[in-house]
Structure 1
Amino acid sequence: MDFDLQWLLLALPAAFLLGWLASRYDLRQLRDEEKASPQAYFKGLNLLLNEQQDKAIDAFIEAVQHDPDTSDLHFALGNLFRRRGEYERAIRVHQHLLARADLKREERERAQHALAQDFMKAGLFDRAEEAYLALEGTAFATDARLALLNLHERSRNWRPAIEVARQLEAAGTGSFAARIAHHWCEVAQEADARGQHEEADMALAKAREAAPQNARALVLQGQRLVSQQRHAEALRLWDELMAVNPEAFALIAGDYAKVAQAAGPEAAEQALRKLDALYGQAPSIDVLQAANSLQGDATLRRARLHQHLQTEPSLTAAQGLLRERLNTGVSLSNAELERLQESLIKTARPLQRYRCAACGFESQRYFWQCPGCHGWDTYPPRRLEEQ
């Protein structure tokens, strides 16, 4: 009995010593890991600031290996992968975060938003839509709806886009009236292409209801009336466009003059007076040419062109003036005038384009939605030579 007690007395200090040594070892190991993790993190941050993204990714991966439970490191790594176009790796990082049971609600929502962005960048629109819809009711709800709106527009899903735009308006994000009107115009054009004319009429009516002064809806409605030989109605509708948006009227000024001629002499005379008045209000080469196409007096046509060249130099106007001179006969020979006219046409062609005010995308055709930046109404309704 005395022997057993002696060994017990000897074992207690030994066990205490071993426990103390073990704790010191664990503390040292933990301290080393904590030291290694911040070093790797700050190294990655420094490399990122120096725009050395490849090395920064390696440093963040090292930091994540030292501290796999730190969500901020995972977010930094996932964002780097997305910026580099490595979308599959970014998706795996954010999916790994979402799979963690210990993730806080705020960080889970953040990971869901990041995953939706990954899918969007990767072109996986169906999965991106699901991911954004899962953010409803979270702090990222507004950002998700804006992203969904862009997604539906890129996919040309106009009715879902209308619904999302309405939700954004209801949430107080801002006015989306003009955007919704464009969506309904797209619906109308698709319906016309399918031969569903009643649906097209309804869509255009909703476009005007959403934005009464939207130029596109009035343009499309007038064009549809012209195709049905309802010239008088088309003229009345475009008269409304002339009143509410005189600058945008230049887009259909030539068509307006042709329809007025088709409607008869009285309609053509009234259209000429209105075009002259509009030109005085909002000078435009398109309006001028439309008016001249209805003007039978060559002297008045030349006077208008000459005045336009004095106030707003334009190669297109110069071309028109030379054409008038060619038709009426002047001191220059016809051959010389024709060569000069050809030269003017060639010079004017690059300037007879529209340019997006947001991204600079240029085109001979006017776009309601820019093919470059996908913005709506970013094209001023004036050609480059008039800007």
Structure 2
Amino acid sequence: KSDYFRGLNFLLNEQPDKAIDVFIQMLEVDSDTVETHLALGNLFRRRGEVDRAIRIHQNLIARPSLDQQQRSAALLELCQDYMRAGLFDRAESLLKELLEIGHHRVSALRHLLDIYQQEKEWEEAITIARRLESQSGQDMKPVIAQFHCELAEAALGHGDTAEVENLARKALSIDRRCVRASLILGRISKAAGQYKQAIRALRRVEEQDLEFLPEVLEDLRECHEALGAPQEMVSYLRQVDGRYRGTATLLMLADLLQQHEGEAAAMDYLAEVLRERPSLRGLDRFISLQFGSAEGGVREDLAVLQGLVQRLLETRPRYKCCHCGFEGQSLHWQCPSCKYWNTVKPIHGIEGEQPRRNPQ
């Protein structure tokens, strides 16, 4: 006990290296203090002192007096030290050892899955996710579908459209609600000039998750225009707007009305709809339409008002994670903050979401 208190005294006096030496010496005498050392190493890791955590856990594992359960617990802690230090190859080796032993299977699989995601080793991630689903009972299908989409995006970068289509269809077979797979299929069909096929894939998004409708509207519009059927797009927008009730559909409807029926028709439509569904983006579009007929002081006043509206909008995020609250201007299928999949979605509200614009 005197050694134990001596170690604590070193800690209190901010001499952690000496404290570690004392605790390790105690371990040689009494293996009952293993839990204390595990907790101490965990504490150092949480404080960002990973080298010290590694030293404690490595010394634990080297002790022949540890039983199998204690050694496995130390292996798991050391694995987390290595992951924190970015030493993924060492962590992976320890996790595979734990799986062979048969201890801490679910935790080991979760950590392995984390490593393969960070390393973008999607094939390995798929294999581990399936094992995790089997071991834990957790539904991993939406995540596995995302891994297939990651492989599809990589294949797209190499110009292998056949493999892109194959992987995206696999993703849909695993998770029929995978919005990303439908977007991939729709866009490669559109790029190939298969506009009717693209429309079928893109319209599937509203059935999978209506909140992602803004992501497909511009592509749908371009497909209908390529087919010479803009009125079909207008009909579709009016039909889906009854369920969506957001800003993206009314903005695109206003664009189409302006294009095919003139500014007056677009202004009348926006004026009517904005009374019921006010939004800053809708107001911004309405002001732009007013410029066409405004003169003198009225035009100057509209310019000031629009400048204020646009300043408000330019600082507003377009997407938000419904799990951790992360906000950003770009759509991430895996949240950069909490690392959850399928949780980042377009923001709705008084600012109003807008159709995603394709690069020119």
**Alignment TM class, shorter chain as reference:** 0.7 to 0.9
Letter in 2 for 1:131: L
Alpha carbons of structure 1 residues 201 and 364: separation in structure 2 relative to 1, 3 Å: same
**RMSD of Structure 2 on Structure 1 (CA):** 2.6
| 1:306 to partner: Cα distance | 2.7
The match for 1:127 among 86, 90, 99 is 90
Rate the CA distance shift 1:109–1:352 in 2: closer, same or farther, 3 A: closer
Counterparts of 1:180-219 in structure 2 under 5 Å?
Answer: 180-219=144-183
2:358 equivalent in structure 1: none
1:276-297 residue CA offsets vs partner (Å, 9 max, x unmatched): 1211101121122222222233
Return the alpha-carbon distance in structure 1 between the equivalents of residues 159 and 301 of structure 2.
50
The counterpart of 2:81, out of the listed 111, 118, 121, is 118
The 5-angstrom pairing of residues 12-31 of structure 1 reads none
Q: Which runs of 5+ in 2 are unaligned?
A: 354-360
State the TM-score, normalized to the length of structure 2: 0.87
Alignment partner of 1:36 is 2:16: no
Quote the residue 2:316 is aligned against.
351
Q: CA deviation at 1:315?
A: 1.1
Q: CA deviation at 1:161?
A: 0.7
Q: Deviations over 1:3-47 (max 9, x none)?
A: xxxxxxxxxxxxxxxxxxxxxxxxxxxxxxxx3145457x579x7
Contact 2:282 2:352 in 1 (8 A): no
1:102-122 CA deviation, whole Å, 9 max, x = no partner? 210100110110111111001
The equivalent of 1:279 in structure 2 is 241
Paired residue for 2:330, among 343, 347, 365? 365
Q: Does 1:325 align with 2:287?
A: no
Q: Does 1:153 align with 2:117?
A: yes
- Equivalent pair of 1:44/1:60 in contact (CA under 8 Å): no
Q: From the CA coordinates, give the structure whose radius of gyration is larger.
A: 1
SS at match of 1:380: strand
Asked if structure 2 preserves the Cα contact closer than 8 Å seen for 1:145 and 1:164, the reply is yes
In structure 2, which of residues 90, 93, 102 is the aligned counterpart of residue 138 of structure 1? 102
Kindly report which structure 2 residues correspond to 1:55-134, keeping only aligned pairs within 5 A, or say none.
59=19, 61-68=21-28, 69-70=30-31, 71-134=34-97
Counterpart code for 2:233 = A
Q: Distance in 1 between matches of 2:83 and 2:156?
A: 31
CA distance in structure 2 between the partners assigned to 1:147 and 1:157 by the alignment: 14
Structure 2 matches for 1:218-367, cutoff 5 A?
Answer: 218-265=182-229, 268-295=230-257, 296-297=260-261, 298-329=263-294, 333-367=298-332
Percent of residue pairs identical? 29
Distance in 2 between residues matched to 1:301 and 1:127, nearest whole Å: 62
* Stretch of structure 1 that moved more, 310-319 or 213-222: 310-319
Indicate if the aligned counterparts of 1:109 and 1:138 stay in contact, CA closer than 8 A.
no
Distance 1:139 1:44 in 2: 35
User: Contact 1:257/1:291 (CA < 8 Å) preserved in 2?
Assistant: no
Q: What amino acid does structure 1 have at the position aligned with 2:39?
A: A
Unmatched segments (≥5 aa) in structure 1: 1-34
- Residues 239 and 76 of structure 1: CA distance in aligned 2, closer, same or farther (over 3 Å): closer
1:250-307 Cα deviation digits (max 9, x unpaired)? 2221222222122213xx2122111112111011211222222222334443244234
User: What's the CA shift string for 1:98-139, capped at 9, x where partnerless?
Assistant: 222221010011011011111100100111111111111533
Segment drifting more, 65-74 vs 326-335: 326-335
User: How far off its partner does 1:59 sit?
Assistant: 4.9
Structure 2 residue aligned with 1:12? none
The 3 A distance-change label for structure 1 pair 197 and 44 is: farther
Q: Give, in whole Å, the separation in 2 of the partners of 1:67 and 1:115.
A: 17
